[in-house]
Amino acid sequence: MTHIRTLTQEIRKGWSGYLFIAPGYFAFIVFMLVPILFAISLSFYKASFDISARQFVGFSQYTQLMDDPVFIQALVNTIEYTFVIVPATVIISLIIALLIDPLGPRNQAFFRGAFYIPGVAGGVVLSVVYLWIFNPTYGILNYLLGLVGIDPVMWLASPPYSFVAVCIVVLTFTIGQPIILLLAGLAGIPQDILDAATVDGANSLQKVIYIRLPLLRPVLLFVLATQTIQVFQLWEVIYMVTGGGPFNTSTSMVFLIFQTAFINGNYGKASAIGVILMLIILLFTFIQLRLWKTSDI
Amino acid sequence: MTTSNTGNQQEALGNAIEKTTRIVSYFLLTVLAVTFLLPLYWMFTGSFKLQAVTMAVPPEFFPLQPTLDNWTRLFTGTWPIWRWVANSVAVSLLTVLLVLAISSLTGYGFGKKKFPGSNVLFIILLSTMFLPNQVILIPLFLLVRFFHLTSTTLGTYFAMAMPLISSPFGIFLVKQFCSSIPDELLDAARIDGASEWDVYSKIMLPLLKPALAALAIFTFNQSWNYFMWHMVIATDKFQYTIPVGVSIISRTPAFGKMITDIGLTMAGGSLGAFFMIVFFIAFQQYFIRGITFGAVKG
């Protein structure tokens, strides 16, 4: 009897639970889940502007991509961007966070804000300034380099430099978030551990290497994960600053998705690229989660 | 005597070292901050320079003959700049409202309600959190086109908000926050005769305020800079948001030549950046809470 009563109670409680999640879950299904599944299915079709005329082609778009030099270039570039931008972001933001940490609250807030502001201004706004800064004839960067005796660089038109240019723009607005995260992590390290180390004669550098970095590990892993996912999705700076060029040397996977889908109208192929990107990010997140678990936090 | 003397000396030396490190770190920080803010400085000052000055070599580090010409042309020219600002504000506010409604209801449902299947449903939701958002843009684009959503202003705003509204991050954040609130509090209200809706709206929502405020600020900024989608679905210049408008200005040849109107572009960029920067300075605490939420305990 009581058993049945608790069961009915469970169901009644359960009903309100379903009601509370219903609107949000409905939106999630319509605007997220179905689109994801639809994109996966679209990757097996040759689909163009007239979507109803799509043709099933199986895995052929995937196999074609493997022989597509532009796709391979985009894939390699995306990985290269990640390997350059992510470590650079982590190291620079760690140095800045360690410099800000000992300051008083007001100065902390000031500098933290100063480094975050380029991020809120957004990639498009920063890109239009950088287009001017990178201009080979009247850009300020070549002028400044000229002052120290470096010859003018064709920033956006010659292969290694266009890649470097994209990295510089991205770095400007990605360091703010890690700095905030690392500062919060540093503030969470108990002062008495650091004091104990001081008593034992450890200098500042030793305290950073042996105490702060190990204790920051979970935050560093989080920063690494979020930054990597962000850089994997890099595209707006490329669209604005280099257009992927010259000769696709600075293109990325998401920029290629954008071009393939919204400029060339090849929705099937673009979806296939999207699915591959999705798989790479999934694999990456999985590895991150494993690392997380072994970090004992 | 000698011990206290060396003690004093050590202390003095320690103070001197501390003072030097402090000066050095202030110096380094200032240099770094200036470097990272230089592009914004260059944009802002550039908006007060005539075209000839923007292309001058050597460049003017500070506009020696500041002009309002670019700003006048920005506000009175052919581009509906205030419409873009209004569009950006409307789209971001609509996104924030929908995200708050959905996240608080769903997050509360998952965080405080026990019902069969809740774990599976939540894991499905969570598994999409790290997926690249661009993947869903193609199907959503086809959806927008099929229903001609961009044929009306309100439809355009909704279409622009669409990819962000079912925010798994927001739902996750609210769920986490809910679990820090004791069940006894909610049960007490139920015993006093509060309905399930009352428990949510009168007890839960006020407690969720700090989390929702952080989520609102985060979403506003995200929506404001959600450039690709806005550009893809905007069909005419009255539908642009500010980032789309700025990118279009920067790509439009001016003065009858194939060159960019740098001054005008910088004025547009400054205006776009201005709103978000003011917004950030006003709500800095919430920005930081939104970023650190979940990543750092405490």
pLDDT digits (tens, 9 = 90+) for B201-235: 999 999 999 889 999 998 999 999 999 999 999 98
- Which residue stretches of chain A have pLDDT < 50? 296-297
Q: Where in chain B is the domain with CATH 1.10.3720.10?
A: 78-292
Give the domain ranges of chain A. 2-42, 64-293
Q: Which among B28, B166, B296 has CB closest to A184?
A: B296
Question: Given CB atoms, is A279 within the 8 Å cutoff of chain B?
Answer: no
For A247, what's the count of Cα atoms within 13 Å in the CB-facing half-sphere? 5
Question: Given this model, what pLDDT does residue A158 score?
Answer: 86
Q: CB under 8 Å to A257, separation ≥6 — which residues?
A: A235, A270, A273, A274, A277, B134
**From residue B93, how far is each of A78, B87, B100, B246, B273 by CA, in Å?**
33, 10, 10, 20, 17
- Could you report the per-residue pLDDT of B185-194, keeping only the tens digit for each? 888 888 888 8
Q: Which among B132, B168, B244 has CB closest to A232?
A: B132
- A39 to B135: CB separation less than 8 angstroms, yes or no: yes
- A261 to B106: CB separation less than 8 angstroms, yes or no: no
Instruction: Give the residue from B264, B236, B238 showing the smallest Cα distance to B251.
Output: B264
Q: Which of residues 209-248 of A touch B (CB under 8 A)?
A: 219, 222, 229, 232-233, 235-236, 239-240
- Tokens standing for residue B73: 């042309």
Whether the Cβ atoms of residue A185 and residue A219 lie closer than 8 Å to each other: yes
- B42 to A31: CB separation less than 8 angstroms, yes or no: no
Question: Given this model, what pLDDT does residue B297 score?
Answer: 45
What residue of A is the nearest CA neighbor of B281?
A113
Q: Which of residues 5-44 of B touch A (CB under 8 A)?
A: 21-22, 25, 28-29, 32-33, 36-37, 39-40, 42-43
CATH superfamily, domain at B78-292: MetI-like (1.10.3720.10)
Using CA atoms, how far apart are residues B244 and B249, in angstroms rounded to an integer?
9
Whether the Cβ atoms of residue B262 and residue A132 lie closer than 8 Å to each other: yes
**Phi and psi torsions of B131, nearest 5°:** -75, 145
Q: Hey, CA dihedral for A250, A255, A261, A263, is it positive or negative?
A: negative
Using CA atoms, how far apart are residues B51 and B42, in angstroms rounded to an integer?
14
Q: CB under 8 Å to B113, separation ≥6 — which residues?
A: A13, A14, A16, A17, A20, A21
Question: Given CB atoms, is B170 within the 8 Å cutoff of chain A?
Answer: no
Question: Given this model, what pLDDT does residue B97 score?
Answer: 97
A64-293 has CATH 1.10.3720.10 classification: yes
Instruction: Give the residue from B136, A42, B168 showing the smallest Cα distance to B144.
Output: B136
- Tokens standing for residue B264: 């005008």
Using CA atoms, how far apart are residues A167 and A150, in angstroms rounded to an integer?
20
Measure B1 CA to nearest chain A CA, in Å.
Answer: 22
Measure A222 CA to nearest chain B CA, in Å.
Answer: 7
Instruction: Give the residue from A40, A78, A76 showing the smallest Cα distance to A61.
Output: A40
Using CA atoms, how far apart are residues A201 and A181, in angstroms rounded to an integer?
29
User: How do beta strands A45-46 and A55-56 pair?
Assistant: antiparallel
Question: Given this model, what pLDDT does residue B1 score?
Answer: 44
Give the three-state DSSP class for A18: helix
Complex confidence, ipTM? 0.88
- Which residue stretches of chain B have pLDDT < 70? 1-7, 256-257, 294-298
Mutate to test the interface with A, among B24, B115, B183 (most CBs of A within 10 A): B115
- B168 to A140: CB separation less than 8 angstroms, yes or no: no
pTM higher than 0.80? yes
Q: Which of residues 34-63 of A touch B (CB under 8 A)?
A: 34-36, 38-39, 42, 51
Return the bridge partners of B260, or none: B253
Q: Which of residues 67-96 of B touch A (CB under 8 A)?
A: none
Mutate to test the interface with B, among A78, A124, A252 (most CBs of B within 10 A): A124
Using CA atoms, how far apart are residues B59 and B34, in angstroms rounded to an integer?
18
Measure B58 CA to nearest chain A CA, in Å.
Answer: 7
Whether the Cβ atoms of residue A184 and residue A219 lie closer than 8 Å to each other: yes
Question: Given CB atoms, is A23 within the 8 Å cutoff of chain B?
Answer: yes
Give the 3-state DSSP-derived string for A178-217, with helices as H, strands as E and coil as C: HHHHHHHHHHCCCHHHHHHHHHCCCCHHHHHHHHHHHHHH
- A122 to B46: CB separation less than 8 angstroms, yes or no: no
Q: Which among A123, A131, A278 has CB closest to B250?
A: A131
Question: Given this model, what pLDDT does residue A297 score?
Answer: 45
Contacts of B243 in chain A (CB under 8 A): 122, 124-125
Instruction: Give the residue from A163, A95, A253 showing the smallest Cα distance to B35.
Output: A95
Q: Which of residues 183-222 of B touch A (CB under 8 A)?
A: 196, 200, 221
As a whole number of Å, the CA-based R_g of chain B is 26
- A285 to B288: CB separation less than 8 angstroms, yes or no: no
Q: CB under 8 Å to A82, separation ≥6 — which residues?
A: A228, A231, A232
Using CA atoms, how far apart are residues B46 and B63, in angstroms rounded to an integer?
7
Question: Given this model, what pLDDT does residue B238 score?
Answer: 94
Using CA atoms, how far apart are residues B130 and B124, in angstroms rounded to an integer?
12
Q: Which of residues 141-160 of B touch A (CB under 8 A)?
A: 141-143
Instruction: Give the residue from B157, B159, B136, B135 showing the smallest Cα distance to B146.
Output: B159
Contacts of B129 in chain A (CB under 8 A): none
Supply the DSSP string of B255-292, one letter for each residue: TTTTEE-HHHHHHHHHHHHHHHHHHHHHTHHHHHHHHH
Question: Given this model, what pLDDT does residue A12 score?
Answer: 66
